[in-house]
């Protein structure tokens, strides 16, 4: 399952994501992982969630991100939710986002992982391939 939260800067996407992380920690028996570009959420995300800073791993492409997520799961089969804050800030190009979301959806279905992603962009610019995850 993939859920996309999209909107321009200042529309409350990250606050919504933080609340969803807190709810997942309380409701789920598995592990919760949060990927963010830098350390801005360090004090907002509860310590029970695994917070990973993308800038420490030189994310840049969707292929790298797929491999990273696959590696996270390979190392910990107890992950039930993955939250990705500001997807477009982690990758170098917006090209391929639809394919990435479709891959996440299939991977999440097979692995039993829920993915929630924030994208900083105007909702009106979302393609049909992105809108189906709203």
The whole-number pLDDT of residue 60 equals 87
Q: Give 37's contacts (C-beta < 8 A, 6+ positions apart).
A: 53, 54, 55, 85, 86, 89, 90
Cα torsion 82, 88, 90, 96: sign:
positive
Residue 119 is predicted with a pLDDT of 96
Contact by Cβ (8 Å): 58, 37: no
What pLDDT, on the 0 to 100 scale, is given for residue 58? 83
Token pair recorded at residue 23: 């709810």
Does residue 92 have a pLDDT over 90? no
CATH architecture of 2-131: 3-Layer(aba) Sandwich (3.40)
What's the pLDDT tens digit per position in 12-55? 999 999 999 999 999 999 999 999 988 989 999 999 999 999 88
Mean per-residue pLDDT over the chain, rounded: 95
- Ordered by start, the domain boundaries in the chain are 2-131
107 pLDDT tier (thresholds 50, 70, 90): very high
Q: Is residue 59 predicted with pLDDT exceeding 90? A: no
């Amino acid at each position: 399952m993939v859920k996309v939260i999209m909107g321009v800067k200042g529309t409350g996407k990250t606050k919504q994501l933080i609340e969803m992380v807190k709810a997942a920690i309380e409701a789920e028996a598995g592990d919760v992982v949060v990927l963010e570009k830098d350390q801005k959420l360090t004090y907002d995300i509860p310590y029970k969630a695994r917070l990973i800073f993308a800038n420490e791993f030189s994310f840049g492409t969707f292929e790298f991100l797929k491999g990273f997520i696959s590696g996270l799961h390979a190392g910990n089969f107890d992950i039930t939710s993955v939250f990705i804050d500001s997807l477009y800030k982690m990758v170098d190009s917006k090209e391929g986002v639809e394919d990435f979301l479709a891959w996440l959806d299939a991977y999440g279905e097979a692995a039993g992982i829920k993915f929630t992603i924030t994208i900083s962009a105007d909702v009106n610019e979302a393609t049909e391939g992105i809108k189906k995850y709203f």
